[in-house]
Structure formats: structure tokens, C-alpha cells
Chain A
Amino acid sequence: MADYTKMWTELGLDLAGHDALLGVLGGAYTDIFLSQKNRPEGMKYFDFVMSEVHGLRIQELMDAKAQGRKVIGSYCVFVPEELILAVDGVSVGLCAGAEFNSEGAETVLPRNTCALIKSAFGFKLGRVCPYLEASNVVVGENTCDGKKKSYEMLAPMVKDLYVMDMPQMKSASGRTLLKEEYKRFAAKLEAVSGKKITIESLKKGIDTVNAKRAAVKRLTALRAADPAPISGLDALLINQVFFYDDPVRFTASVNTLCDELEERVKKRTGVFAAKTPRLLISGCPMAVPNWKLPMLIESSGAVIVGEESCVGERGARWITDAKSQTMDGLLDQLTDRYFNIDCAIFTPNPSRVAYVKDMAKKLGATGVIHYSLQFCQPYIMESGPVENDLEKSGIPTLRLETDYSQEDAGQLKTRIEAFVERLQKK
């Protein structure tokens, strides 16, 4: 990696803390990803992206900013990238997946806050996330209570925090609210960028994001093959890079990888032996570099074939139908697309478990691991009914609750191994 010290200093990063973070990240990446066997060639691109995640990509953001483009950071898949692209902005995900500076985070947040939020604050207070520091606008959303309230504390720490309101029910008034909020967000984007959203620019934004999602959907479909052509870890990584990378380049790279995977499927080669127990993960998002659970699972004799998660299916599943020729019509279609997302903050949320069953069937998964971050009320609350429903439908389910620390790794491994043994009927 080139020397980016100057750029990091200009961004106001704490170099010592940042070095420590990169050190841990690099080590973990080598141990977890590079040590995997039979990886597709196409993963090289993503290895490169990860090795430059705080380097080249940030340089690109800085270059974009120098050209007058705006960087918009966000924490949720309800924030439409299409609108950001429509003002020629750059969209970056800010969710944090590493335990870093929890003590710092706990000076402003209660201890029993989920690791995702805590980590985001740890990054902010420790000044180690170049994406956050490079963002012209940070977009929050009123989803779970943890995020909603924590934005109040984040506001004074960032340049421009914009909070989007969110419906909690899939009702007509809920949809109206979402559309109104997207309109308000569009106006905000126009104001910060000084650019007007036109029918053409919005259509172009929608096409770009549609293509990106279509590529990921293609990848998802290929994972139905046995033997699995790609590991769950690598597929998760791609879903994580989804939130950071240049969308057009990302799309091309995923498609190239998919061409290779298609060949693998034809030749019946894969990363694990055929008949390896196949699992689905369902639940909270896994932000980069949270690879803890997939790593434990795939070193316990199983392969992950899908993620029912916002970093996964819930983020990529729906494509926007952009046929309308009016601005209002396009906004309607965008709203329709996003209103499908079955996040646990909605009540009730029956389509989520229905889709988990669908996915299990389509991808040939024989078991589901329900993953919740500790203290994540929406997903923990939903996990009981989801488990009961799946078990009743004959899909064995294991419910796990964990955080970013490594202290429960042994315990988790025992549970996961026992679950895999249950699937193998040992």
C-alpha cells in the first residue's frame, strides 16, 4: 500500500489508533480469508479492495470531493443510494464491525448498546474511520431505538448530520411517510450538492444501483449449487464491499466473478466437498470486518449459502422498476422498492420469516442460524417466533446472540458444531 499518511492526517485521523486498527484488520484478513482453500480467482479484486480499503478508495473519495462531488455516509439500507447518485454524489456505508475503543464509546452510550452502534461511536471518538471523516453529510434514520437516540449524541460530533424519519408499519400512511422522507432527502441532497435531480439523473442512478443489485443477485443464485462455488465468507465480503466501492466497478467485478463461478458450477467444482451441510444466516447485519460467526461456522464443517441480512439479501433483493416518465412517478417506484425491506423494526413483519423459508428452499440450505447482536431488541425479539416458525416447517434453527468480542468463541463453536452434527444426524 502506498503512503497515505498525509491524506489521513488531513482527514484528522488519529494515526496511532488508525495504525493499530489496520494492523488488526490486516492480520485477521490474512488468517480468515487468504487461508481459505479453492478460492475463485475473481476474489483477487476484492482482496485488493480490502487491502486498499483505507487507502486507494479514500483517495478516490478525496478526488471526487476535489471535483465538487459530495460524499454521503449512511448506516442503513433504507437510505437510497439512487438519490445520492442522482446528484452525482458518492454513497458510502458507515456501519462498523470491529470492537474498537469500546471504553470511549461507553463514555457516551449505555453499556447495553449493540456492538454496531458502539463500534460506530468508538470509531468516531477514536477518529479512525476515514469514511466517516470524509463524509460531507452523515445520514441517520429512525429505525431502532438504539440508533434513533444515538444520533442525538452523534449530531454534535459530525459536520452535518441529517436524520430521516422512518415508518414502523407497512401501512398506507407508513408508505406515505417514507415517500415524503425520500422527497425531503432529495431536497437535502440538492441543497448540499447544488445540483438538481432530473428525471434523467435519477433514472441513471436507479440503473446503476439496479445493475449492482442484479450482479449480487446473480451471485446469490449461483450459491444454490452443490458443491458451493464460493465460500460464505467470500460472499459476505462481497456484500460488505457493496457499501464502499465504486458501484460501476463493483458491478463489473461481481459479474466477472460470476462468470467464473458459472464455470465452476458446470464443472461441479467448489470450495467445499459436495454434500457439505449447507446453512443460511438470518438476522442482524454483519458490517466489515465482522467475520466472527461465518468464520466459526465454516471452520465447523458447514458452508454458508446465503445471508438473510441487510448485508446480503435484504439489501440487494429488490430491483427498482423505473418505468415512470415523471419525477413523482419515479419517487413512487423508488418508495415501492424500499418499502419491501422486511427489517425487524417493522411490526408486524411476517414476510421476513416467509422469505427465510423461501431462501432455504431455493439455496438448498438444511438449517438456519439466527444471528442477533447482543442488545439488539428488534432482532432478538423476532428471533423466538422466527425459530418456532422455521422449526415447525421442518427447518432446524439455531439461535445465537453475540457481539464483536472473541470471549465467547469457544462456546459458540461448541453450539455450532452440535448444530451441524444435528443436521448430519450423527
Chain B
Amino acid sequence: MKSAGIDIGSRTVKLAVLENGKLAWSAKRVTSYNPLETARELMDGVAFDAITATGYGRHLMKGHLDCPVISEITAFARGARFFAADCGAILDIGGQDTKAIALDREGAMSKFEMNDKCAAGTGRFLEVMATALGFTLEEFSQAALAAGKAVKINSMCTVFAESEVVSLTSQGALREDVAMGIHKAIVSRSASLLRRVSPQGPVFFAGGVALNACVRKLLEAETGRPVFVPPDPQIVGAVGAALISHFFR
């Protein structure tokens, strides 16, 4: 049986198909102003027997594609175990939210936390800051890794941090050092969210921000815990939803 999961996130839509317990296919696409349309395009021509939706846009599917929905928190909890069978702590930094999830030994969710209302410290925040410094996302992470020191960023509000960054560079701070400061700020915030649900043990790091090598490195340093990033950290939620499709059958 082919079971699929679709994760309609704020920045990207991801689709994953599992067959006989193996990841058979996955794809992702940047979310447009019409996430439902993006989801349709992504599913076009892909064969599956059952599908489950997750992500912030999960309820959009209702009435269009009659499929079960699952919260992204559960989806990530399930998906993480697919990639790391003994995983006990998950940190997911996505486009507009950050989640920390603790699993018990059986893989059942035992605690979770999410960031508050705004986008502070999420993927969106990183994007805005990279642009403010004139970097692409890839360059941004590399620049931070090459920095000699970190300039402290005081504001985590996307709007205020942007003007803070601009004023820091105009005062002569090196772009690299500011980039490092931003990365550090994100990591310390996420690490404290993680600590609230799980104090120790290896960390499964997922979501678009897990692609950022500098965040990964800083997260290990800040927490003193081994950090594991799956081959494609963005599809964890979609894979989790696909696993749930079994549950609903």
C-alpha cells in the first residue's frame, strides 16, 4: 500500500509517499498565495492509496480532498521516529513556528511547546535578516561560520531586529559578525524551548532551518547534546502524516 502525507506549511508544501515502510517519493514546493493550489500541483500525477494532511494549512484541505488531518506536532513526532528509531527529543524550526517535542520510550508524545504568536526566531526571521545583510540563505550561514566574533542582537522581533542589523552595519560592524550574532540569538531561543520539554539526550533537528549548517553547529555547542539532522529535514512532517495514514485505515 502507498500512503502519502502532505504538510502544508507557511513557507513550503511537502509531499511524501511511503511504500512498504520505505520512503518511496517526496517533493516540496514554495507555498504560493494559494496553498491549496500549490498542494494540488504537488500531488498531480502522484499515486497513493491514502493521504493525511498536516501543517498550518491542514484544514484548508477539508471539503476539497476528504482526508484525515493531524496536527503538525503529532506529524513531527511520528516522522522523527521514522528516521531515528530511538529519538526522544525533537526540535523543529519551520517557516513561522518553532516546536520542541519530547517522546517517551514507546515514541508517544509526552510534552511539547511552541513559540508564541509571532515569527521571532523562526525561518522567516532568518530570511529577513539574511536579506537585510545582502546575503542569500546559503551565504548567510557560511558568513556566520566564517565570523571572528558574534555581535549581540538585542531584539528578536523581526521588524526591530531588521533595523538593529542595519544600524549595526552602518556603525561599522562586520556583516559576518552580525550574521553570527543573529544565528546565536535564534539558537539560544530555540534551545531554551527545547530545554523546557526535554533536558538531555540526543536532539532530532528538523524543519527548513535544520538545513543551516551554522545553526546546527551552534545548537550542539549550546546544548552540549548530539544533534541529528535527517537527509531532508523538511519532509519529516509529511512523512509523519503518511505514517498516520496507516492509522486511519
What does the 1/0 interface line of A388-422 toward B look like (CB < 8 Å)? 00010000000000000001101100110110011
A188 to B103, CA, bound (A): 58
Known interface pairs A410-B56, A414-B56; A422-B117 also in contact (CB < 8 Å) = no
Known interface pairs A407-B117, A411-B114, A415-B114; A422-B56 also in contact (CB < 8 Å) = no
A411 interface neighbour in B70, B78, B117, Cβ under 8 Å = B117
User: Chain A residues near B244 (CB, 8 Å)?
Assistant: 426
User: Chain B residues near A415 (CB, 8 Å)?
Assistant: 71, 73, 112, 114
> DSSP class of B's interface residues: helix, strand, loop or mixed?
mixed
Q: Is A425 an interface residue (CB 8 A)?
A: yes
Known interface pairs A410-B56, A414-B56; A422-B114 also in contact (CB < 8 Å) = no
Most interface-central of A407, A415, A418 (chain B CB within 10 A): A418
A326 to B81, CA, bound (A): 69
User: Chain A residues near B117 (CB, 8 Å)?
Assistant: 407-408, 411
A280 to B200, CA, bound (A): 31
A415 to B113, CA, bound (A): 8
Check B112 against A418 for contact (C-beta < 8 Å).
Answer: yes
> DSSP class of A's interface residues: helix, strand, loop or mixed?
helix
A417 to B71, CA, bound (A): 6
Return the chain B residue nearest A420 by Cβ: B71
User: Chain B residues near A391 (CB, 8 Å)?
Assistant: 111
Check B108 against A414 for contact (C-beta < 8 Å).
Answer: no
- What's the minimum C-beta distance from A358 to chain B, rounded to whole angstroms? 24
User: Chain B residues near A421 (CB, 8 Å)?
Assistant: 70-71, 73-74, 109
Check A418 against B74 for contact (C-beta < 8 Å).
Answer: yes
Interface size on A, residues (CB 8 A): 13
| Contacts across chains A and B counted by CB atoms under 8 Å | 43
Known interface pairs A411-B117, A414-B114; A422-B72 also in contact (CB < 8 Å) = no
Q: Is B247 an interface residue (CB 8 A)?
A: yes
What does the 1/0 interface line of B77-107 toward A look like (CB < 8 Å)? 0100000000000000000010000000000
- What's the minimum C-beta distance from B181 to chain A, rounded to whole angstroms? 28
B108 interface neighbour in A410, A411, A417, A422, Cβ under 8 Å = A422
Check B72 against A414 for contact (C-beta < 8 Å).
Answer: yes
User: Chain B residues near A407 (CB, 8 Å)?
Assistant: 117
User: Chain A residues near B108 (CB, 8 Å)?
Assistant: 422, 425
Check A426 against B74 for contact (C-beta < 8 Å).
Answer: yes
Check B109 against A418 for contact (C-beta < 8 Å).
Answer: yes
- What's the minimum C-beta distance from A385 to chain B, rounded to whole angstroms? 15
User: Chain B residues near A418 (CB, 8 Å)?
Assistant: 71-74, 109, 112
Check A426 against B247 for contact (C-beta < 8 Å).
Answer: yes
Most interface-central of B73, B97, B247 (chain A CB within 10 A): B73
A414 to B247, CA, bound (A): 20
Check B70 against A414 for contact (C-beta < 8 Å).
Answer: no
Beta-carbon contacts under 8 Å, B46-91 to A:
56, 70-74, 78
A422 to B116, CA, bound (A): 21
A414 to B8, CA, bound (A): 13
A138 to B71, CA, bound (A): 45
Beta-carbon contacts under 8 Å, A359-399 to B:
391
Most interface-central of B71, B72, B108, B244 (chain A CB within 10 A): B71
- What's the minimum C-beta distance from B52 to chain A, rounded to whole angstroms? 10
Return the chain B residue nearest A405 by Cβ: B117
A391 to B78, CA, bound (A): 22
A138 to B21, CA, bound (A): 66
A144 to B116, CA, bound (A): 25
B109 interface neighbour in A408, A414, A422, Cβ under 8 Å = A422
User: Chain B residues near A425 (CB, 8 Å)?
Assistant: 108
A417 to B69, CA, bound (A): 10
User: Chain A residues near B73 (CB, 8 Å)?
Assistant: 414-415, 417-418, 421
Return the chain A residue nearest B73 by Cβ: A418
- What's the minimum C-beta distance from A394 to chain B, rounded to whole angstroms? 11
Most interface-central of A407, A415, A421 (chain B CB within 10 A): A421
User: Chain B residues near A422 (CB, 8 Å)?
Assistant: 74, 108-110, 112
Residues of B within 8 A of A (CB): 56, 70-74, 78, 97, 108-112, 114, 116-117, 244, 247
Of all A-B residue pairs in the complex, the 6 with the closest CB atoms, nearest first, are A418-B73, A417-B71, A418-B71, A421-B74, A422-B109, A408-B117
What are 29 inter-chain pairs, A to B, with CB distance below 8 A? A407-B117, A408-B117, A410-B56, A411-B114, A411-B116, A414-B56, A414-B71, A414-B72, A414-B73, A414-B114, A415-B71, A415-B112, A415-B114, A417-B71, A417-B73, A417-B74, A418-B71, A418-B72, A418-B73, A418-B74, A418-B109, A421-B71, A421-B74, A421-B109, A422-B74, A422-B109, A422-B110, A426-B78, A426-B247
Residues of A within 8 A of B (CB): 391, 407-408, 410-411, 414-415, 417-418, 421-422, 425-426
With A411-B117, A421-B70 given, can you name 4 additional A-B contacts, CB distance below 8 Å?
Answer: A414-B73, A417-B71, A421-B109, A422-B74
